[in-house]
A and B are shown apart, each in its own frame.
Chain A
Amino acid sequence: MNPVAALNNYLMVGAVLFALGVIGFLSRRNLIIMFLSAEMMLQGVALNMVAFARYRGNVQGQAFVLFMLTVAACEAAIALSLFMVLYRHRHTLDVSVWQELREADQDPIVDDEPLPPLEPEEPLPHLTPAGREPEHAPS
């Protein structure tokens, strides 16, 4: 694999991660998943940086990724605390409940398509409290 081809491959993977992050950020409505998608976009960019650092044979790209990491950590801290505040107000992590900043006379966007009923989840196994005889499978 010659260096140009290697660079090309890594840049492509970075681009794919970035684009998937964009789609996730645009379509998913859970604040946390949106945030994770944004982080994935950052990862795509970081991959580009690292690939270029390798290609050029120095560490400038890596140093930059380190700063990106720092900023991402700060961002995560602030974002999480903001999520907490938002959650306290509306008791949901759905981003669509925050749409007050629309035109004054415009109707809010409401999901009117009914959801199919959830399939019942399998009951989780649990231990019998101490001092009681466990249930036995009928033998």
Chain B
Amino acid sequence: MVAGQTTTVSGPPGFLPVLLPIGLGLVGVYYLLPKPKGYPLWAGVVCSAAAIISAGALLVRYDVLTPEVLLFLTFSALAIISGGLLITLRNPVRAALSFALVILSTCGLFLLQAAPFLTAATIIVYAGAIIVTFLFVIMLAQQEGLSDADRRSREPMLSAVAGFVLLAALLYVLVLNYDTRRLDQILAEIRLAQQKETVAEIEKVLGDEIEDGFSKKLETISIAPEGSDRPLPLMERINTNDFMFDLEWMRAKAMGVAEMKKVLGELAARIERIRNMQGQLQPAKERPLSSFSGRPANQQASSGAGRKESIDTVALLGRSLVTDYLFSVELAGVLLLVAVVGAIVIAGRQEGMP
């Protein structure tokens, strides 16, 4: 969707956009899972590819194809494809390598989400340490090559169904709760109206009878407030004690275009705020976080559009870890030590071996 366009969106999102990629993915993964009497490789690949493409087209939302969006699409496609490879490749060595690919692509996603430290840490820990150790074990254990077990799956049909049912439920909830298209559309209309210079033009953009048409549109859209699953009409959520849209609009129309634009600006700000809070669960009011850790999530000002954040969260994370999470960090250190000792004890046990 491109900003400014006023394509009509009506009704809540259906189950269909979720169902199509899920069904394709289910068939594809089932085809690809190792089985004694396998299906042709191309069928599985085609189905899976179709699933990924349809999911990208139906479910992923973006306005403009910025470089950030492009990177996101690339990394997530890579992650999903290599994840699929991990569970379908028969050779464990190759599976492990594709796992490394999953890690690398999620690290790319981390980087896009302003988490450079995590990117580095995950690459070092997973790709650098865990994968290598696993490869050692595979090499040690399976020197003779592909084993029979790798060419069979345990209940491929049932597990694919279970996994995709789970995924369908998750995706449907996400689609349902984070659907911002109608609000985006109203915002676009208002922004368009703001650029007009006469009352007639403004009214033409917003609707013929401004008092009824536009207000009614605001009434018919229902958005659940954060922390609740009971939807309220948008109008009720816009209006506060000091800003009743209908009254303000009547007043502004009497005073001229400039005042009308001002009211529209306020309306747009309010709707944008509501959109940005959509689907949010309210965190606990009292959250004992120090000021070192950034703004706590329960301060509403922290989330919203137009926030300019440095990508440099490393310093922030460091301060947070040694202040608010100091005890947890110590505990994690102890846990690592215990794990190392335990691993040595378990793996080094030799007595009673056959």
**What is the interface of chain A, defined by CB distance below 8 A to chain B?**
1-5, 7-13, 15-24, 26-30, 32-33, 35-37, 39-40, 43, 46-47, 50-51, 53-60, 62-63, 65-67, 69-78, 80-85, 87-89, 92-96, 111, 113-116, 118, 121
Contacts and interface: CB of A to CB of B under 8 A. Distances in A.
B87 A28 contact: yes
B294 A58 contact: yes
B347 A80 contact: yes
Contacts of B303: 3, 55-57
* B62, B118, B279, B346 pick with most chain A CB within 10 angstroms: B118
Contacts of B307: 57
A2 to B, nearest CB: 6
Contacts of A2: 63, 180, 184, 275-276, 305
Given A19-B167, A32-B137, A81-B346, A72 B294 contact: no
Given A3-B276, A4-B180, A12 B339 contact: no
Contact of B66 (A1, A56, A75, A82): A1
A54 B340 contact: no
B174 A80 contact: no
A29 B148 CA distance: 10
A26 B163 contact: yes
Contacts of A36: 86, 95-96, 99, 134
B174 A12 contact: yes
Contacts of B156: 27
Nearest to A73: B125
A40 B29 contact: no
The 7 A-B pairs at the shortest CB distance, nearest first, are namely A24-B87, A26-B159, A74-B339, A94-B149, A81-B347, A19-B167, A23-B163
Interface residues of B, number: 115
A133 B62 CA distance: 64
Contacts of B231: none
Contacts, number: 305
A1 B37 CA distance: 45
B347 A114 contact: no
Nearest to B73: A9
Interface stretch (B139-147, B211-219, B257-265): B139-147
Contact of A16 (B37, B86, B129, B167): B167
Contact of B174 (A11, A27, A43, A111): A11
Given A58-B295, A63-B320, A77 B340 contact: yes
B166 A19 contact: yes
Contacts of B250: none
Given A28-B87, A58-B296, A89-B354, 20 more contacts: A1-B63, A2-B184, A10-B72, A12-B60, A29-B154, A33-B87, A33-B92, A33-B150, A39-B99, A43-B102, A43-B106, A46-B118, A62-B118, A62-B317, A72-B130, A73-B130, A75-B339, A78-B343, A82-B346, A88-B353
Interface stretch (B75-83, B190-198, B199-207, B232-240): B75-83
B40 to A, nearest CB: 14
17 contacts: A4-B178, A11-B174, A15-B171, A23-B162, A27-B33, A30-B95, A32-B95, A36-B134, A39-B126, A46-B122, A58-B302, A63-B317, A69-B118, A72-B130, A80-B137, A81-B342, A93-B142
